[in-house]
């Protein structure tokens, strides 16, 4: 589903990722681990074609996204649910309106859009708050809202950068449980986090980065006999 082959990424001559080769299969739940500056966010941005590799190939669902023409990127992203810290919620709109937005962008009929947005809110446990302002939500609930917005177009891959930052352990575990629910129904999930304690035991596949290099986790561990 996602293959990196000898990927390098440098910013102004400084190498953020070096000779990175790994593979993620469809349906996996994968954690991207490593200290601050290890290259986790850069890896996720390459998958979503927010950044382009300096060398090597990034393949997502059979497409070489590192070389994709700009006009192909919206189609790629339609298949990806993205949860990045710089994607702000619309604070002057309701919870429901925030989830409707990605559907409006792709021209979903209003009646369909409302039904799907409510279904997405229901999946993350926020349906009762549909009329609320995002400002009135707790940090954990705001993160749930970001997840609902990311999954409303039914992407096959969900990508989240530090989705549990700023949450206490209990709220963080509840948010992780939502990702696991989507993974259980077949969505491929990539989560970057520096918080190792959080995901220990949750997935056999952890891609560990150290100074932009792969420390472990190049491919999915084979299932036990």
Ligand X SMILES: Nc1ncnc2c1ncn2[C@@H]1O[C@H](COP(=O)(O)OP(=O)(O)OP(=O)(O)O)[C@@H](O)[C@H]1O
Q: Does 164 bind Mg ion (CB under 5 A)?
A: no
SS3 content of the chain, % helix, strand, coil (to 5): 35, 25, 35
Residues 6+ apart with CB under 8 A from 93: 133, 134
Q: For tokens 């989705």, what's the residue?
A: 163
Q: Which of residues 27-46 bind ligand X (CB under 6 A)?
A: 34, 36-42
Binds Mg ion by CB under 5 A, chosen from 9, 34, 41, 187: 41
The total of other beta-carbon atoms located within 10 Å of residue 156's CB is 14
Return the one option of Mg ion, ligand X, none that residue 11 interacts with (CB less than 5 to 8 A, by type).
Answer: ligand X
Q: Which CB atom, from 36 or from 70, has the smaller least distance to Mg ion?
A: 36
Residue 108 contacts which entry, ligand X, Mg ion, none (Cβ below 5-8 A, type-dependent): none
Alpha helices in the chain (DSSP H): 40-47, 73-78, 95-105, 110-123, 139-151, 169-184, 196-199
CA 75 to chain centre: 16
The footprint of ligand X on residues 46-85 (CB under 6 A) is: none
Binding to ligand X by CB under 6 A, coded x per residue (else -) over 158-197, reads ------------------------------------x---
By CB under 6 A, residue 11 contacts ligand X: yes
Instruction: Please give the residues from 199 up to 218 whose contact with ligand X meets the rule CB under 6 A.
Output: none
Total residues interacting with ligand X, rule: CB under 6 A: 12
Q: How far is CA 122 from the centre of its chain?
A: 19
What residues make contact with ligand X under the rule CB under 6 A? 11-12, 16, 34, 36-42, 194
């Amino acid at each position: 589903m996602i293959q990196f082959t000898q990927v390098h990424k440098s910013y102004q001559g400084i190498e953020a990722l070096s000779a990175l080769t790994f593979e993620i299969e469809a349906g996996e739940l994968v954690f991207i681990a490593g200290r601050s500056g290890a290259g986790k966010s850069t890896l996720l941005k390459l998958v979503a074609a927010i950044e382009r590799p300096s060398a090597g190939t990034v393949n997502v669902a059979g497409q070489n996204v590192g070389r994709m023409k700009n006009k192909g990127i919206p189609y790629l992203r339609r298949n990806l649910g993205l949860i990045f810290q710089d994607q702000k919620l619309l604070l002057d709109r309701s919870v429901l309106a925030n989830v409707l937005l990605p559907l409006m962008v792709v021209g979903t009929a209003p009646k369909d859009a409302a039904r799907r947005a409510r279904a997405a809110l229901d999946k993350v446990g926020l349906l009762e708050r549909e009329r609320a302002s995002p400002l009135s939500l707790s940090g954990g609930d705001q993160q749930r809202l970001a997840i609902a917005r990311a999954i409303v177009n039914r992407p096959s891959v969900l990508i989240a950068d530090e989705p549990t930052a700023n949450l206490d352990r209990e709220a963080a575990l509840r948010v992780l449980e939502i990702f696991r629910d989507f993974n259980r129904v077949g969505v491929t999930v990539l989560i970057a986090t520096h918080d190792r304690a959080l995901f220990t035991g949750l997935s056999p596949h952890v891609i560990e980065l150290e100074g932009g290099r792969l420390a472990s986790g190049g491919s999915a561990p084979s299932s036990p006999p």
